[in-house]
């Protein structure tokens, strides 16, 4: 049994939950992060010294960082042919196809994630009187710049790394969902808009990502 630590309103936990569902893997989830303070305990910090979520435990093996966890889950030996086929779609064995998935996973982390964290924290987590309008404006401008990069690619293909859903899309989707909910997705980004429409058909997106921002 896999054990996943993290709260469901964390976008990084949402990514892992989505992949677990696609692969049909059994797991249990422990609340951690924000008001759930288990991630501050000595036991948790011994497994993940960053004190952040998610953390995955697999029979004594621990791994943290959401994209690394998603890769690990796809690389595990699957228990059925359907799960193995799903893992291959999400994270192809072919070096070139996998390379394109990896580039978007890395891009999400160094690119749009940081400014969107600022936008989200300021506009959702802080009271209006605590918000810094100049900081929000700067972060929104940076986020739109990154969204334009994704849009260029999504005008050429249905998904980030080709014609099927992969880890690249799962890695980016929760962040772009927040951008959409905060009105950063404009008609000037038709590729992103159409991509978000396609994601609405994905059960994992509807279950874990398409939820109220909290």
The angle at the Cα of 117, spanning 197 to 154, to the nearest 5 degrees, equals 30
- What is residue 25's predicted lDDT score, i.e. its pLDDT? 96
Task: Provide the 3-class DSSP secondary structure of residue 35.
Answer: coil
Q: How do 55-58 and 61-64 pair as beta strands?
A: antiparallel
CA distance 62 to 196: 32
- What is residue 205's predicted lDDT score, i.e. its pLDDT? 98
Q: Kindly report whether the global pTM for this prediction surpasses the value 0.95.
A: yes
Provide the residue-wise pLDDT of the chain in tens; the chain has 214 residues: 899 999 999 999 999 999 999 999 999 999 999 999 999 999 999 999 999 999 999 999 999 999 999 999 999 999 899 999 999 999 999 999 999 999 999 999 999 999 999 999 999 999 999 999 999 999 999 999 999 999 999 999 999 999 999 999 999 999 999 999 999 999 999 999 999 999 999 999 999 999 999 9
- What is residue 1's predicted lDDT score, i.e. its pLDDT? 86
- Rg over alpha carbons for the chain, rounded to the nearest Å, is 17
- What is residue 69's predicted lDDT score, i.e. its pLDDT? 98
Order of all β-strands in the sheet with 61-64: 27-30, 2-5, 55-58, 61-64
Domains annotated for the chain, with CATH where assigned, are 2-88 (3.40.30.10), 92-209 (1.20.1050.10)
Residue 53's alpha-carbon distances to 8, 35, 38, 69, in angstroms, are 10, 13, 10, 11
Which tokens go with 154? 């999504």
DSSP bridge partners of 63: 56
CA distance 161 to 121: 29
CA distance 34 to 51: 11
* Angle between helix 113-120 and 167-181 (nearest 10): 30
């Amino acid at each position: 049994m896999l054990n996943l630590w993290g709260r469901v309103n964390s976008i990084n936990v949402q990514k892992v939950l989505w992949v677990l569902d696609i692969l049909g893997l059994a797991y249990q989830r422990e609340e951690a992060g924000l008001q759930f303070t288990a991630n501050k305990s000595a036991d948790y910090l011994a497994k993940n010294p960053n004190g952040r979520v998610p953390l995955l435990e697999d029979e004594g093996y621990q791994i943290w960082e959401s994209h690394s966890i998603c890769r690990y889950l796809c690389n595990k030996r699957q228990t059925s042919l359907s799960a193995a086929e799903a893992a291959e779609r999400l994270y192809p064995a072919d070096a070139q196809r996998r390379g394109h998935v990896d580039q978007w996973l890395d891009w999400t982390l160094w690119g749009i994630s940081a400014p969107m964290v600022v936008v989200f924290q300021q506009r959702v987590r802080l009271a209006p009187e605590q918000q810094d309008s100049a900081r929000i404006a700067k972060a929104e401008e940076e986020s739109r710049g990154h969204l334009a990069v994704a849009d260029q690619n999504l005008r050429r293909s249905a998904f980030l790394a080709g014609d099927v859903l992969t880890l690249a899309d799962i890695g980016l989707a929760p962040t772009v969902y927040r951008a959409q909910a905060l009105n950063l997705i404009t008609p000037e980004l038709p590729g992103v808009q159409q991509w978000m429409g396609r994601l609405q058909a994905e059960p994992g997106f509807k279950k874990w990502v398409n939820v109220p921002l909290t």
